[in-house]
Amino acid sequence: MATTADFRNGMCLDIDGQYYFIVEFLHVKPGKGPAFVRSKLKNVSTGRVIDKTWNSGVKVEEVRIERRPYQYLYKDEMGLNFMHPETFEQISIPEAVIDGVQFLKEGDTVEAMVHAASETVLTCELPAHVTLRVTYTEPGLKGDTATNTLKPATVETGAEVRVPLFINEGELITIDTRDGSYVGRVKEA
């Protein structure tokens, strides 16, 4: 058990059977009345952010969450199969708990949040930016670099993203996995 004095960003709490990460918190000592703590909590399973106010000194249940890297191997009927790069332990993770799963390709490394006591995977995050090859898009015309117009393009994982008009098939692009937006073109060495 921990108290509100032990709060820190990234700490995981069990509130009514749901797991929440502390996004931010603030200890408030008003001139009149008892001290309290204002916090923003992010639900691990849904990603929803809520505001919660605690009286100072209240006991809360802390959950031990470990962040572990896993390398993506392949997909089968059980889900997506991953391997820990140091122990070579293989696990299967359902697609629903992986953020940005449409940008995941074989060999990519993800960071999984694992409940330490039960060894269950709560969520899985891809890196913020990934580099993928464009497999299909309409050809660009000369002089299409002047506007901010976007066109649809399919990348090697099968996901569809919006790219500028000057991007052609076969080019490498960087994509933000959080919202699926185009970041930039990658020069090939």
**Structural domain includes residue 120:** yes
In-domain check, residue 109: yes
Q: Domain containing 180 — which CATH number?
A: 2.40.50.140
Model pLDDT for residues 96-116, shown as the tens digit of each residue:
888 888 999 898 999 988 888
Token pair listed for 43: 């639900």
Whether residue 5 is contained in a domain is answered as no
> Percent of the chain at pLDDT above 90?
41
Range of the domain at 86: 66-125
Q: Could you report how far apart the first and last alpha carbons of the chain are, in Å?
A: 53
> Structure pTM?
0.75
> In this structure, which long-range contacts are made by residues 96-99, counting pairs with CB atoms below 8 Å and at least 24 apart in sequence?
97/45, 97/121, 97/122, 97/123, 97/124, 98/123, 98/124, 98/125, 98/126, 99/47, 99/123, 99/124, 99/125, 99/126, 99/177, 99/178
Cα separation, 13 vs 23, whole angstroms: 11
Tell me the pLDDT of the chain averaged across its residues: 88
Q: Is residue 50 part of a domain?
A: yes
Residue 170 predicted with pLDDT over 70: yes
Q: What's the mean pLDDT in 76-86? A: 89
